[in-house]
Amino acid sequence: MAKDKTGSDKAVSRSGTAVPAAAAAPASSGSEIAAFLNAAKSLAPGAAGSGRLAFALDATMSRQPTWDSACKLQAEMFDAVGKTAQLSVQLVYFRGLGECRASRWVTDTTQLANLMTRIACRGGQTQIGRVLRHVADEAKLRPVSALVYIGDAMEEDIDKLAVMAGELALRKVPCFMFHEGHDPAAARGFREIARVTGGAYVRFDQNAAAELAALLRAVATYATGGRPALEKAGGAAATLLLEQLGPARTGGKGQSRGKGASRS
């Protein structure tokens, strides 16, 4: 089903590579999967721009109580990204028993926001490893500026995830890990992924909606223009991320490697 090298509508295999949808092991109904794939096919591929941002969601059942409000926040982020010139975004999500899917890379983020509203939570364990592997594979084809991950749990081996995070670090893909709730295992795991990749960890709840939206807009700014753009943007959210990223270091395209500090 994958038709080009930029991440056309596809399922993500356990090794992170694209596989035909028929080869995946979906836990959701055929009609729901078909609806997502039909919507994904309608997305116009993004033109080459100055940045590519992977936006990954945990859509397992534990997020159901806050899913509607979370979708609103995430849609606001897409809207902010849409106002940022030349930034391509890919939506990745997992849920159920082995379902992990990715959209095409697009610049029209309104389409992605609409696509996201079609996703319903399904019971299952986290598949963060598949997300990290998928983004690493995408970065092999073309540079990926950053990964944003939003979730509330981590049920995988942190040592294995750290190895995958190390590959993202080698490919200069910082992970911005947004943690909903207070799960201690998730906090440890997310902090470690952020540290290894030189990204940032931020815990949030639905009472901090405005703060989260501002932080996501700051990530979009970073993905487009690196640290210089974030420094120029100013504001509390940009300042927080700059603190998370650590002191500036020399690196290609103005994107310094940070220390991956965290905010509890």
Per-residue pLDDT tens digits for 133-191: 999 999 999 999 999 999 999 999 999 999 999 999 999 999 999 998 899 999 999 99
pLDDT of residue 179: 92
For tokens 């993905």, name the residue: 223
Count of CB atoms situated within 10 Å of the CB of 157 = 11
Provide the 3-class DSSP secondary structure of residue 119.
coil
Domains contained in the chain, CATH given: 10-263 (3.40.50.410)
Strands across the sheet containing 262-263 = 18-19, 10-12, 99-102, 87-95, 51-58, 146-151, 175-180, 200-204, 262-263
* Helices (runs of H) and strands (runs of E) counted in the chain: 8, 9
pLDDT of residue 83: 61
pLDDT of residue 175: 95
Per-residue pLDDT tens digits for 115-139: 777 888 999 999 999 999 999 999 9
In angstroms, the CA 170 to CA 158 distance is 18
State pTM to two decimals. Answer: 0.76
Whether the CB-CB separation of 91 and 102 falls below 8 Å is answered with yes
